[in-house]
Structure 1
Amino acid sequence: MCVRSFFTTHPNPVVLLHGLGANQNEDLNYLEAYLQSQSYCTFSLTYGAFPQYPEVGGLRFINESAPQVASFIQEVHTNTGATKIDIVGHSEGAFHSLYVPKFNGISGIVDKIVAIAPPTHGTTFGGIYAPFYLLGNLTIGLADEILNTVGCPACGDLVTGGAAVQRLNDGTPIVQSGNTLTVIASKDDELVTPTTTAFVNEAGVSNMYVQETCPLDPVGHIGEAYDANVWNLVVNALNTTPKRAFACSFGSPGKL
């Protein structure tokens, strides 16, 4: 949603990128509504879906989804007339928030990036190789059908040593000039494992665990998209107010 008056308070539109197996109406939908309530202009899309399963996003190879994400961000930039765009992603969407500015020619229009639980350096998926349906509202039967029909190319891209992970970590900086990155992770994440794989160890990057601010928060990987403490940390990053205090909540762990 984009209300023109929002630009007075927050001049950068925010593009939200869902996790693997989810879509624009599921995963970051509650965070998007929260940002809208805080007068942010937000946009989202379902990326990386196969034609047979249009509501199940993020399945395609990363290098197939990335141009779609980049095109959408460019479209938001053009249609809103904003100077810069901010990106907030969760899980695979967080990986795209790092990958797309680096490789798809949009870094010049990006300002702040907030990556929630990205498998930056690859993940063991907590020992589960086909977890994509866990981020969506899919039945096991549908997940099996999708696996048997189109597979999950993105799963192989994001495991430790996966092709997209290797490309992102090619020895050149992940964060591009003019972009500011905040990585938010949970010590109790059970899918992006080990949890330190999320962090980007480059100058100027803010890497944080939710529990450093809210020690009693038991949030897991899926729950990070729905956790009010995470939402507040996202707002702090978007507002460039990292020390802003807020009352911590104790929500659902959001674990498998």
Structure 2
Amino acid sequence: MLPWKRVLRPLAALLLTAAIAIVPAATATAHAATAPSSGWNDYTCTPSAAHPWPVVLVHGTFGNSVDNWLSLAPYLKDRGYCVFSLDYGRLPGVPLFHGLGPIDESAEQLSAYVDKVLTATGAAKADLVGHSQGGMMPRYYLKFLGGAAKVNTLVGLAPDNHGTDLGGLTNLLPYFPGAEDLLKATTPGLADQVVGSAFLTKLNQGGDTVPGVHYTVIATRYDEVAKPWRGQYLSGSDVHNVLLQDLCPLDLSEHVAIGLFDRIAFHEVANALDPAHATATTCASVFS
């Protein structure tokens, strides 16, 4: 590689990463205050013929129904979708940071929320878009709680479908007697996500997917939480697994950024929700 290319390539990557963050940042603060009244979580919203399924956004661990979606919710709303988001997995006395309760119970909360959205909108089905745990937990709803009849598409942004080591934390647990039991007792939602947990064993036994639902997984090579990143992928007859860097080699987003403000990932979400009108996702998609 020529010397100038060695300089320009990382520089271009940094500029693209900055653009990914800056493009939605100009409106994020305004949406934080006005999201419910501006059409996001508007229960009077009527799905259009072009987008007949309302979109339910499912936050990740330590997330909530607003902060996780300050960029993606308005992105989808501006494209004509009825967009909704829920809080789930709350622990008593822990405000703002959710997704920490037992995941099977969180899936029951998602089930009730989807029913609420379908009743309000009159739609027969919903599309689900989730980040991290929010991309994996709905699979329990689909597989064990009758969700497959009510969901058209599940899109996972960096979903820990086959577990996580919690950023290396689980490697330390054997050195601290009682730590694993404490994790399960205090934050069962975290314990359920650990590679090899009883929850994940049940979830993945007999196949990753269920008939009738379209699945898309969007992963990043730089994920430091749901790793190895290939463990996010699903196997099945109706699965589309995507690596961001295959679409744009300059995209440096990691586990958090892919869900919060990565416009390249957002473009691929839009493609998954409306495959009949999908357009190529490239580095230029950051400006779409």
TM-score, structure 1 as length reference: 0.85
Q: Deviations over 1:111-146 (max 9, x none)?
A: 01101111111112231349xxxxxxxxxxxxxxxx
Pairs within 5 Å for 1:164-183 = 164-170=199-205, 172-183=206-217
- The 1-side partners of 2:128 and 2:281 are apart by 22
2:101 counterpart of 1:67: no
AA matched with 2:210: Q
Match of 2:223 in 1: 189
Q: Using the aligned pairs only, state the percent identity.
A: 36
Question: Structure 1 residues 88, 248: closer, same or farther in 2, change over 3 A?
Answer: same
- 1:227 maps to amino acid: D
Question: Does the alignment pair 1:82 with 2:123?
Answer: yes
117-126 vs 8-17, which moves further = 117-126
- CA offset digits 1:91-117 (Å, max 9, x no partner): 010011222111111210110110111
Aligned match for 2:90, one of 45, 49, 54: 49
Could you tell me which runs of 5 or more consecutive residues in structure 1 were left unpaired when the two chains were aligned: 131-146, 252-256
- Aligned-partner SS, 1:44: strand
SS in 1 for 2:71: helix
Letter of the aligned partner of 1:125 in structure 2? L
Count matched residues.
233
Pairing 1:232–2:267 present: yes
In 1, Cα distance between the equivalents of 2:57 and 2:77?
12
- Shift in CA distance, 208/96, structure 1 to aligned 2, threshold 3 Å: same
SS in 1 for 2:215: strand
1: distance between equivalents of 2:58 and 2:79? Answer: 19
- Residue matched to 2:279: 244
How has the CA–CA distance of structure 1 residues 246 and 214 changed in structure 2, closer, same or farther, with 3 Å as cutoff?
Answer: same
1:102 alignment partner in structure 2:
143
Whose radius of gyration is greater, 1 or 2? 2
Task: Tell me what 1:58 maps to.
Answer: 99
Number of the residue aligned with 1:221: 255
Give, in whole Å, the separation in 2 of the partners of 1:243 and 1:36: 17
Counterpart for residue 143 of structure 1 = none
1:237 Cα deviation (Å)?
A: 0.4
Letter in 1 for 2:223: D
Q: Which runs of 4+ in 1 moved over 3 A?
A: 2-6
Give the whole-Å Cα distance in 2 for the aligned partners of 1:62 and 1:106.
15
2:64–2:86 CA contact under 8 A, matched in 1: yes
Separation in structure 2 between the aligned mates of residue 4 and residue 66 of structure 1, nearest angstrom: 24
Show CA shifts across 1:136-160 (max 9, x none). xxxxxxxxxxx99x72211110010
Name the Cα RMSD after superposition.
2.2
- Whether contact under 8 Å (2:163, 2:200) holds in the other structure is yes
How far 1:163 sits from its partner (Å)?
2.0
Secondary structure of the residue that 1:125 maps to in structure 2?
Answer: coil
Offset from partner CA, 1:37-56 (integer Å, 9 cap, x none): 11110110110011312321
Post-superposition shift, 1:245?
Answer: 2.1
